[in-house]
Amino acid sequence: MDIEREIAERAKDIEQRINKYMPKESGMQQTVLDAMSYSIFAGGKRLRPMMMEAAYGMFGGTDRELIEPFMAAIEMIHTYSLVHDDLPAMDNDDYRRGKETTHKHFGEAMGILAGDALLNYAYETIAAALCKAEGGQKQDAIQAFAVLAKKAGVYGMVGGQTVDVESEKKQTVDAGRLDFIYRLKTGALMEAALMTGAVLAGASSDDVSMMEQAGTKLGMAFQIADDVLDETSTQEVLGKPVGSDSRNQKMTYVALEGIDKAKEEVARLSEEAVAVLDGFTGEHTFLRELFLYLIHRKR
């Protein structure tokens, strides 16, 4: 399988499907609508909705109308987190994916509002889907909504971001604190993608828990690999500034353990994440290759 080509083809398809769920209305709030669209369509591989759909298929899910709103919603949530992460109060980055960040293009206030709007619209999108769902699908959709909301909130991504911000400029950050940040800030939405896909397909609670474990390990490996890239890659390759972790005095796994140990940890976690997937009998060739690609990516 040519995984990069497969990802590109799936990403193009997913982007077209996400576009159906974006607000089209115009009015006096047009600027924030434009900023939302700019942020969503500024590039990206659509990895989280891609993982969600692959997990859904692995457990036998076939109804695109059921999963699509959740795919759109998780991309909106992920994008809002990036918009806010780039703000001056956070990482203060001017470029992402080779383009000006939302706050640089529209101004800081509109960057805040665009992130707020994307998060809220994600929940509007799922709420509309819940109203349409019937029978057993409705219960699965409610459970999936609960998973996604929790993983995006204070017990997930926002919680991890909070501890990350509080850890900046600290003289020492121990491995346990760093693991907590990585597991929540990065891993939570990957857990959500895999778990939501499984829940919507009617997977058992044990299987959903196993998918959560796979997402945890994948997210940890992904973030540590990102730390390595921040130290070793270039802005031209990554499409965003490198060295921002050092510039913002952030403690990372590379800073804590060194690049060689970081690479060893990526390898260990990636093997464990793939091993969880391989414990399932459902077709998961693409999902397996996607895991390996995400962990060993160059950008």
* Cα–Cα distance for residue pair 293/7, rounded to 1 Å: 10
Nearest to 173 by CA among 249, 260, 264, 93: 249
**Distance (Å, rounded) from C-alpha 151 to C-alpha 293?**
23
| pLDDT for residue 175 | 85
When pLDDT is averaged across residues 95-113 and rounded to a whole number, the result is 94
Q: Categorize the per-residue pLDDT at 240 as very low, low, confident or very high, splitting at 50, 70 and 90.
A: very low
The number of folded domains in the chain is 1
Is the pLDDT at 241 greater than 80, yes or no?
Answer: no
Residue-range definition of the domain harbouring residue 291: 3-295
Q: What percent of the chain has pLDDT over 90?
A: 74
Q: Render pLDDT for 148-158 as a digit per residue (tens, 0 to 9).
A: 999 999 999 99
- Which pLDDT score is estimated for 295? 81
Tell me what the pLDDT averaged over the chain comes to. 91
- Tell which wins on pLDDT, 134 or 156: 156
Whether 237 shows a pLDDT value over 50: the answer reads no
| Mean pLDDT, residues 80-93 taken together | 94
**How confident is the model over 167-175, as a mean pLDDT?**
76
pLDDT in tens, 29-83: 999 999 999 999 998 899 999 999 999 999 999 999 999 999 999 999 999 999 9
Helix (H) or strand (E) holding 100: strand 99-100
The encoded tokens of residue 7 equal: 């990802």
Q: What is the CATH number of the domain that holds 288?
A: 1.10.600.10
Matching residue, tokens 């470029």 = 95
Quickly list H helices, the chain: 3-19, 30-40, 47-58, 64-85, 102-106, 108-132, 135-152, 157-167, 175-185, 187-200, 205-232, 235-238, 244-247, 253-257, 259-278, 285-295
Task: Record the tokens describing residue 218, joined without a space.
Answer: 């994948």
| pTM summary value | 0.92
